[in-house]
Amino acid sequence: MKGKDELRVEEKISAILDSYKIDDSLDTKKQKTKSVLEAYLPVRQPQHSIVSVKVLIKMALQELFLRCKIQLSIFLLVLVALMVVIDSPLEKYLMMIFTAPIPLFICFWQLFGKYDQAMEELEHTFKCSFNQMFFSKVVAIIGIAILFITIPAIQFLLTGSQVRTVELFQLIILGLTPICLFSLMLLVLVTVSRNVNIMLTTFLIWMLFGFSALSTQVGELLVNVNVIFYAVVIVVSTVSIILKLKQLLQLDRKDLMKYES
């Protein structure tokens, strides 16, 4: 009897709970919610391609030219003047090594160091991804620095008829080593923080080292180090730069590829 009564109560509970109906005309409210949620959607990244990266590198080069034309022109004049004035091949070598990263410092400082928080925010709202812009700027800067190293090399070729191919190779390797090392270092620095003081301190330390090397035996020692050692340093730092740049680009490309698929 008790069991029957319990069963009846159970059925009644079910019937009551089943009778709990809700007005399902939710369309208006649903639309309202959707329009509110639109504000919370992340800004859609544009579809990236190699072409757009090329365009961005071109833009970065233009920006470099606009921002750094005076500094780079002065540097170029000083470089040519020094190359003409200095007679000793050893000093020419050393001068080339120590001046090689200067365009890097100028460009990194102009393109990244001077940016404040607001400028970064602005970059984020630009049509291209922040990572792509960053990538293209770094590529443009490294390209400019490498271009500058060719100037003393050409001067060597034009003026010194006695310059042998081996010496020219050594010259290029010696010039490229600080470029690669400083590119990697500045790339890491601007990725972590865009502190101008850190860049400036690094530059001053390097110049101090350069001057002391010129006036002591260190310079000669540096030039006499086996060129293979420098080649290894270049390869390692170049691979590190490529990996770092690839990592930068992949940050948004990974998500994008999934989305496109």
Q: Which residues sit at the interface with another protein, rule CB under 8 A?
A: 6, 9-10, 12-13, 16-17, 19-24, 26, 29-30, 32-34, 36-38, 40-45, 255-256, 258-259
Rounded least distance, CB 18 to another protein, Å: 8
Q: Which is nearer to another protein, 41 or 228 (CB)?
A: 41
196 or 251: CB nearest another protein: 251
CB of 124 to another protein, least distance (A): 13
Whichever of 43 and 50 has its CB closer to another protein, that residue is 43
> Which token pair is 182?
């400083």
Q: With the CA atoms of 67, 103, 106 and 226 taken in that order, what torsion angle do they form, in degrees rounded to the nearest 10?
A: 160
Nearer of residues 41 and 158 to another protein, judged by Cβ:
41
Rounded Cα distance between 142 and 14, Å, is: 75
Nearer Cβ to another protein, position 29 or 127? 29
Q: How far is the CB of 192 from another protein (least distance, A)?
A: 22
Residue with tokens 């020219």: 168
**Residues 64-71: contacts with CB under 8 Å, at least 24 apart:** 64/107, 64/110, 64/111, 64/137, 64/140, 64/141, 64/144, 67/110, 67/111, 68/106, 68/107, 68/110, 68/111, 71/106, 71/110
In whole angstroms, give the CA distance from residue 135 to residue 112.
12
Tokens of 11: 């059925």
Please give the biggest Cα pair distance in the chain: 119
- To another protein, the closest distance from the beta carbon of 260 in angstroms equals 10
The nearest distance, CB 125 to another protein, in angstroms, is 13
Of 17 and 70, CB closest to another protein: 17
Q: Which residues, at least 6 apart from 60, have a Cβ–Cβ distance to it below 8 Å?
A: 111, 133, 136, 137, 139, 140, 141
CB of 256 to another protein, least distance (A): 7
Residue (42 or 66) nearer to another protein, CB: 42
CA distance 149 to 170: 13
* Minimum CB–partner distance for residue 19 and another protein (Å): 4
* Number of residues that this document lists for the chain: 261
